[in-house]
């Protein structure tokens, strides 16, 4: 898996999570003798794309620096029900404290990666790439967008600072589509891309006439999207957003659009079932 994530961001995510969960100290773990050693095994209870290793490793670095982790399934790989994902040997107290935060990252990020992989598989053989959106959990955007990449998807803009997406409210406030696009062109050298959202074919024609290179087709019916692809004729890249379900995904992809952005990859997920089991036996090496 080639997806990467900034180490300082992972560290910050974990620090916030530990402050929330551990606070001034783990009162229950303190009941275990300080000298007690244990082996903790994280098990996945269902078929899923695993994601979250950098966060688990960082939890261990911050909470259990002497622990040794042996990964059997890593990010971007599919696991089967009951599979051992990682075995961790270390202080029983420290592993008990680390348990819930490790599992929280794993269950959430694996859910995003798993759902993304299903969408990517559904459009395989078409030209359409599956992208995420900015509909993320506050504070976990970089982590969740990493999970999308682990599932085979691609990231849209990270935030409002790295690309321009001119939406309906921008168009209304700026005095029209062409006016908004012309203003955006002055910033072209500073951003990854400039994209314009259109809701009608007449707006699409205006965007084409203005020289827009990336167009977002917002909540258009299937037949209208087919006509939009014909109108564009390859003069710009076309992206679909809104109104796409998993059941309708393939027909939309087969229209010939380049990209399909899906907010549900992140905001509508079901956590993957992970658990951690302890033993006092050493890890076999």
Establish if 284 belongs to a structural domain.
Answer: no
Give the single-character DSSP code of 247: T
d(CA 218, CA 41): 45
**Is 155 in the same domain as 81?**
no
Q: How many domains does the chain have?
A: 2
To the query of whether residue 89 is one of the catalytic residues in this protein, the response is: no
Establish if 2 belongs to a structural domain.
Answer: no
Percent of the chain with pLDDT over 70: 97
- Dump pLDDT digits (tens) for 80-95: 999 999 999 999 999 9
pLDDT value for 187? 94
Q: Which of 167, 226, 250, 267 is catalytic?
A: 167
To the query of whether residue 188 is one of the catalytic residues in this protein, the response is: no
Establish if 210 belongs to a structural domain.
Answer: yes
**Is 106 in the same domain as 149?**
no
d(CA 62, CA 20): 14
Domain holding 195: CATH number?
Answer: 3.20.20.70
Q: Which of 78, 84, 100, 267 is catalytic?
A: 100
Q: Which of 21, 199, 218, 227 is catalytic?
A: 218
To the query of whether residue 124 is one of the catalytic residues in this protein, the response is: no
To the query of whether residue 87 is one of the catalytic residues in this protein, the response is: no
**Is 165 in the same domain as 53?**
no
Q: Mean of the per-residue pLDDT values for the chain?
A: 96
To the query of whether residue 84 is one of the catalytic residues in this protein, the response is: no
Q: Which of 135, 154, 250, 267 is catalytic?
A: 135
Domain interval for residue 180: 122-267
Establish if 1 belongs to a structural domain.
Answer: no
d(CA 279, CA 90): 11
**Is 64 in the same domain as 98?**
yes
């Amino acid at each position: 898996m080639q997806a990467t994530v900034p180490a300082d961001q992972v560290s910050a995510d974990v620090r916030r999570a530990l402050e929330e969960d551990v606070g001034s100290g783990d009162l229950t773990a303190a009941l275990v003798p300080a000298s007690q050693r244990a082996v903790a095994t994280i098990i996945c209870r269902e078929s899923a794309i695993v994601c979250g290793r950098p966060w688990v490793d960082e939890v261990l670095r911050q909470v259990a620096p002497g622990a040794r982790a042996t990964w059997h399934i890593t990010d971007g790989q599919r696991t089967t029900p009951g599979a051992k994902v990682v075995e961790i040997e270390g202080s029983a107290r420290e592993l008990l404290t680390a348990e819930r935060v490790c599992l929280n990252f794993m269950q959430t990020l694996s859910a995003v990666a798993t759902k993304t992989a299903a969408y990517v598989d559904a459009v395989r053989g078409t030209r359409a790439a599956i992208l995420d959106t900015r509909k993320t959990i506050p504070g976990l955007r970089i982590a969740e967008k990493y999970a999308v990449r682990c599932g085979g998807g691609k990231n849209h803009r990270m935030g409002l600072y790295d690309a321009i997406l001119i939406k309906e409210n921008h168009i209304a406030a700026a005095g029209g589509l062409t006016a908004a696009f012309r203003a955006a062109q002055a910033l072209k050298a500073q951003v990854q891309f400039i994209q314009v959202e259109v809701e009608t074919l007449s707006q699409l024609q205006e965007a084409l006439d203005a020289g827009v290179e990336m167009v977002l087709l917002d909540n258009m019916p299937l037949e209208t999207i087919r006509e939009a692809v014909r109108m564009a004729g390859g003069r710009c890249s076309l992206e679909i957003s809104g109104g796409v379900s998993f059941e309708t995904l393939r027909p939309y992809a087969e229209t010939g659009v380049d990209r399909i952005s899906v907010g549900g990859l992140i905001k509508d997920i079901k956590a993957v079932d992970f658990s951690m089991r302890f033993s006092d036996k050493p890890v076999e090496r």
